Amino acid sequence: MQRYGTAPVPARDRRGYHRQVARWKDGLRRVLYPAYESRVAKFLPADRIPQHIGVMLDGNRRWAKAVGADTADGYQAGADNIRPLLGWCEEVGVKVVTLWLLSTDNLNRPPEQLTGLMRVIEGAVESLAAERRWHVHPVGALDLLPASTAARLKAAEEATRDIDGILVNIAVGYGGRREIADAVRSLLQEHAAAGTTLEELADVIDVEHIAEHLYTKGQPDPDLVIRTSGEQRLGGFLLWQSAHSEFYFCEALWPDFRRVDFLRAIRAYAERERRYGS
């Protein structure tokens, strides 16, 4: 037995007590968080909102394990949290969002796990396209993906090409090193077709030449990169583009990432003084 106050409490009653406390805390959060969120949102400076946010949606499998669910359920729970995120971005005025859903390293996972993940990604992207609110743009080495997956991603992009909403980069089969290698390869091929020699190209090549061949060419670099699940590393995400980005690492696993977590990230960004290396 354990004592609460002066009287011993049986184990059965102790479990009931803890459940009651948990329900009370949950109820308190439901009452207080909306007011807290509103206050944070109200005081965000309109002139310090990031225009491009990169998000590493990390922690889906750990979330599934924590709640006793299958890995596929974790992937789906993560996919279900994408639409709310984009809504929050709309609220504060973000223009571009890059979502890292699948890395090139992830392609080495067991086939049965990868098949389920591809199915979730396909469904998530098609769902976003069906909203007709956002311009969906796949980025990554689509040639490494199953042909059916690549085709469905390209179809979602084509279906939303005329949408004047947030530009949503869907990073699937994406790796930062692979992107830079692909950019250099594309640059060399372009100049070879134009008859430029290697010596001539070596004399003039600069960072802008490579930037023009990245998956995100023509887009602003990310102002803010958010990673969930407590991990504090890039893991190859937007290596070139994030040279001057601010980073925000959140403890919440991606399926548990809430509007209040998002607003805290935006507030943290707004409070920083960006020096761009100077």
- Residue 118 DSSP class: H
Helix (H, G, I), strand (E, B) or coil at 154: helix
CA dist 68 and 65 (Å) reads: 5
Those residues whose C-beta lies under 8 Å from the C-beta of residue 197, and which sit 6 or more positions away, are: none
CA dist 48 and 256 (Å) reads: 26
The catalytically annotated residue of 13, 26, 58, 261 is 58
Whose tokens are 């396209």? That residue is: 129
Q: Which among 166, 173, 180 has a CA at the least distance from the CA of 238?
A: 180
Q: Do residues 253 and 229 make contact, with C-beta atoms less than 8 angstroms apart?
A: yes
Whose tokens are 């279900």? That residue is: 80
The catalytically annotated residue of 26, 105, 106, 108 is 106
Known catalytic residue: 58? Answer: yes
In sequence order, the β-bridge partners of residue 98 are 54, 169
Q: Helix 71-80 and helix 60-67: axis angle, to 10°?
A: 120
CA dist 115 and 30 (Å) reads: 37
User: How far is residue 21 CA from its own chain's centroid?
Assistant: 34
Q: Which residues are catalytic?
A: 58, 106
